[in-house]
Amino acid sequence: MARIGGIDLPKNKRGVIGLTYIFGIGRSTAQTILKNNSIDESIKVQDWNDDQLAAIRTSVNEIKIEGQLRSEIQLNVKRLSEDIVLSALTTQPAEALGMQKSLGKIAPGYDANLVIVDGEYFDPKSKIVSVWIEGKEYYIASKKTPTFLGTWSLKYSGSSYDLIIEDPLKTQSTEKQKEFYKAYLNVNKKSVEIFNLDIFESSISFTIDGSKLGLKGTLAFSGKLADDQIQGSVKNNVNEIDAFQADRKKKDNQIERKIEKSSNLSVFYPEGAYGLIKDHAKPNAILINDATLWTCGPKGTLAEWDILFVDGKIEQVAPDITVPKGSAVIIEGAGKHVTPGLVEAKLPP
């Protein structure tokens, strides 16, 4: 077995392809390595002799691969403080525009321009739920995340299979999915295991042993979910790409209809032709409680704090703010991260 850079290369692949299984080595780099060592690209990995294998290992060790490359990327990201990055998008441009007393911070007297995220602010998997402009909320992400859970009719290569995706813990909801799933295909009344299942928002990817479907090699699926249908592509063992489609199978729940009896109760009509003579008064105050606030000010990042704004301005920032019942719209902020609205430092010409 050819093990290079901590990776077991596929022995039945041509060398120029096998080397690309190492993170950090692409097709052109693989060609250069083989050319510099006078090794024919068409020779399969299993046919390399000991001298050729040793030469390739030496060349690969001179390249930043796998762990080294990942570590370097992570180190470069960590060199920038999250507070510094956020200030470059909020307080600094606000100062450049001469608006540092009204924009760029979460503090009393500042405009209620905010960004609300459903997780850690700098986590790539977090979504912007909404932005607030002068106290008015505008939704960015859907309040309801599409769910992949259930049974799907997967059509590929002229055949149809049942794809079942489930949550073994049976604790997740469609509104907030966790990252723990299990999936399998029903093929000829037998369950075929699915590997490398990855679901994020409306995207899904997984691999299947093609031999279980009467095909060769590993099949890599990737697709997008929209309107109860997944559409995407499949890459086979020779990098050929084909299309697939999966449609959600709806449960056939027949509900027995019951004949309703007419009521003998008297009918009471609401006040006014349409129920109300005038609209109810709406509070001009909004309270977001128990959120993580990135103030971009001296207080830094505050966990489980509240923010109250009135008429589009931040009125108070403190833990456990209380307001008279009915005087403010209360928004549950637990698990949410709130930052000042981003400021575009584009000066007029």
Both tokens assigned to 29: 């780099």
Residues 56 and 38: their CA atoms lie apart, in Å, by 10
Tell me, yes or no, whether 222 and 170 share the same domain.
yes
Of 241, 196, 227, 193, the closest CA to residue 213 belongs to 193
Higher pLDDT, 270 or 138: 138
Q: Alpha helices of the chain — where are they, by DSSP H?
A: 15-18, 27-36, 50-61, 66-78, 82-87, 91-96
Tell me, yes or no, whether 21 and 51 share the same domain.
yes
- Percent of the chain scoring above 70 in pLDDT: 78
Tell me, yes or no, whether 156 and 124 share the same domain.
no
Tell me, yes or no, whether 46 and 19 share the same domain.
yes
Angle at 346 between CA 116 and CA 96, to 5 degrees: 85
Residues 228 and 147: their CA atoms lie apart, in Å, by 9
Q: b/e string for 305-334 if b means 16 or more Cβ within 10 A?
A: bbbbbbeeebbebeeebebeeeebebbebe
pLDDT confidence of residue 174: 44
**Residue 33 domain-assigned (yes or no):** yes
Q: How confident is the model at residue 316 (pLDDT cuts 50, 70, 90)?
A: very high
Any long-range contacts for 165-172 (C-beta under 8 Å, 24+ apart)? Answer: 165/197, 165/199
Tell me, yes or no, whether 212 and 155 share the same domain.
yes
Tell me, yes or no, whether 136 and 157 share the same domain.
no
Question: What's at 178, amino acid-wise?
Answer: K
Q: How confident is the model at residue 40 (pLDDT cuts 50, 70, 90)?
A: very high
Residues 124 and 136: their CA atoms lie apart, in Å, by 26
**Residue 228 domain-assigned (yes or no):** yes
**Residue 65 domain-assigned (yes or no):** yes
CA distances from 168 to 149, 165, 205, 209, 344 (A): 11, 10, 19, 22, 45
Tell me, yes or no, whether 62 and 39 share the same domain.
yes
| Range from 29-38, 64-73, 253-262 carrying the lowest mean pLDDT | 64-73
**Residue 311 domain-assigned (yes or no):** yes
pLDDT confidence of residue 71: 59
pLDDT digits (tens, 9 = 90+) for 283-302: 678 899 899 999 888 888 89
pLDDT digits (tens, 9 = 90+) for 229-285: 999 999 888 888 889 999 998 875 555 666 667 767 766 655 555 555 555 556 678
Residue 300 sits in a domain whose CATH number is 2.30.40
Tell me, yes or no, whether 162 and 244 share the same domain.
yes
Q: How confident is the model at residue 307 (pLDDT cuts 50, 70, 90)?
A: very high
pLDDT confidence of residue 324: 84
Decide which of 197, 226, 248 is a domain's last residue: 248
Tell me, yes or no, whether 53 and 88 share the same domain.
no
**Residue 346 domain-assigned (yes or no):** no
Q: Is the pLDDT score of 70 beyond 60? A: no
**Residue 326 domain-assigned (yes or no):** yes
Tell me, yes or no, whether 133 and 171 share the same domain.
no
Number of independent structural domains in the chain: 3
Tell me, yes or no, whether 162 and 136 share the same domain.
no
Residues 149 and 165: their CA atoms lie apart, in Å, by 5
Mean pLDDT in residue range 211-237: 89
- Percent of the chain scoring above 90 in pLDDT: 18
**Residue 260 domain-assigned (yes or no):** no
| Range from 129-143, 156-170, 330-344 carrying the lowest mean pLDDT | 129-143
Residues 165 and 308: their CA atoms lie apart, in Å, by 42
**Residue 226 domain-assigned (yes or no):** yes
Tell me, yes or no, whether 244 and 287 share the same domain.
no
Residues 307 and 332: their CA atoms lie apart, in Å, by 11
Both tokens assigned to 249: 């199978």
Q: How confident is the model at residue 88 (pLDDT cuts 50, 70, 90)?
A: confident
pLDDT confidence of residue 253: 55
| Range from 43-52, 263-272, 332-341 carrying the lowest mean pLDDT | 263-272
What SS3 string covers 247-316? EECCCCCCCCCCCCCCCCCCCCCCCCCCCCCCCCCCCCEEEEEEEEEECCCCCCEEEEEEEEEECCEEEE
DSSP 8-state secondary structure symbol assigned to residue 47: G
pLDDT confidence of residue 141: 58
Q: Is the pLDDT score of 1 beyond 50? A: yes
Provide the domain limits for residue 321.
Answer: 82-142+281-340
Residue 54 sits in a domain whose CATH number is 1.10.8.50
* Average model confidence (pLDDT) across the chain: 80
